[in-house]
Structure 1
Amino acid sequence: MAGYKRNQDSFQASNSNDNENNSIATSSSEAQPTKLQHSENNDKESICWKYFEPFKVPKENRTITKCTIPGCTTRYMWCGSTSNLVGHLKTKHGITKSSTPLPSTTSTINSINSEPEINLPLIKFIVSSGAHFSVVDNLKSAGFISPEIELSTANILDEQIDKVYNRLFLQLKLKVQQEKSTVLSIHTTTYTMFNKQYIVITCNWLTKDFELHKILLLAKESPEYNDNSFRDIIEALEKWELTNLKFYSCYDDYCLKSLYELQEENYQNLVQLHKNTNNYSINLKYLIKKSLGKWARENVNIQGMSECY
């Protein structure tokens, strides 16, 4: 009987210990998601995402994160912790959470994630509306843009576009050179608000799928036509090395005349496309004349051949 009582007491004590362990385990498991969630929130708000691509917590491990501070090429493989990234900012760039204010939760609008992308729609707006870059300096003061959003200034936009253009130059140059034939367009445009005149040169072509492509070769302020203006045009053409130019269009007769006076052999065989597209006979006349002229120059040594055209 005494033995039975001892066994019963031992069983009850065991059950009591199991219940306590289960209670501890339950409490621990209930607390764990809160801890993980808190850690994830800290990662999302970490200062490192202001300077490291992809500017937010990667969805997958082993994603490459890259420091975007100018002149820095440091990369880290994401393993679920921001320690390396935060440490890099502190030791290499002297940046800490206390030294740089973080945007509030309500002002994020995907906060830092949106900042690198906001310039593109801004530039599209400026181009499509014909507005000056300085319009961005007035958007906030006019109340069109939330004060929490950091917009680039007009000067920064100008610099960014120049950098992108220079970076893409060789790629665009190769692309246009691979086409069989291209059209050169030279015209002037006046910015009436500031009474400024610009020379604009574009190169245009159709792909095999009949898609129209256009590249800006030159856009330069020119108060009036002079020899320097047209030498700028020639320099732009030489820079792009467009040996596949077949046609050109120009909306100013004086511009054409001055261009001819430079007597650049590379452009003697171009066929002019007139504004009056219904009068195809004029274009045909120029095509025949230019073709005969080219043949005559190439065969000038043939007996009895002269350049009478």
Structure 2
Amino acid sequence: MSKNLTLNNGVEMPALGFGVFQTPPEDTVAAVDTALRTGYRHIDTAAAYRNEREVGEAIRSSGLDRSEVFIETKVWITDYGYDATLHAFDKSAGKLGVDQLDLFILHQALPSRFDLTLDAYRALEKLLGDGRVRAIGVSNFMPDHLEKLLRETAVVPAVNQIEVHPYFLQRDVLDADAAHGIVSQAWSPIGGITFYRDGGTGSTLDDATIARIGQAHGKTPAQVMLRWHLQRGRSAIPKSVRPKRIAENFDVFDFELTDRELAAIDALDTGVRGGPEPDAITLETFGMEIPEA
């Protein structure tokens, strides 16, 4: 299978990205450097992660040409609104040290102020039209958020980055994305933040079905889960700061899961969300100041 996905505007995006969510700035340069040396060519960060500057530093010091690395980052809700979001681009691009972003997305839907969400997205459309970004999208948008956005704006998002892993499939969101030609991109693709310590479900990494499939292919549970995303046509953004794990997560292009194995992983869905409820995101509870470049 191809290592790239073609977005709805024709832009090619590496399907497997490297994430830096919760990676401290002091660890980010080394982690991204390791990822790029391993072979990753898609780095996913966000203004709210507070490590865009270090991502940019690692990309510059890698020796790779700018055109070889697909850079994705996100606007935080505090910077929603037309002018504020245009300025959010300046902040992110400035920290990353680039003139153009490959993918710029809204981090949350902000249902309580959807007017600001719409204005923010219109700013993304402007940036796209001006060539300052190559593709635009959203994150954590549920089907009703998508429908409201599509009614009021002109450009269909290229990507919707959402929580997806074997224990939380969000089929309704995946179906809505597919219906509109939007690539679903999985954050927490191996259930990393959602080990269900309270619910008794356990970790996806210890799941017997996934382990059995891994043994059949000589692969780890994490590799099986990442391969499952890719074969289902999704982008996946694993994260790690450990070189061994970074390399392991990239070694997923030399085996193929059967239809039965894919279905068995699909059937593990518990319906339990690990991240925050998208409708609960408000400026009052999740607002944070995003520093200048």
Q: TM-score, normalised by structure 2?
A: 0.22
Structure with the largest fraction of helix: 1
- Which structure has the larger Rg over C-alpha atoms? 1
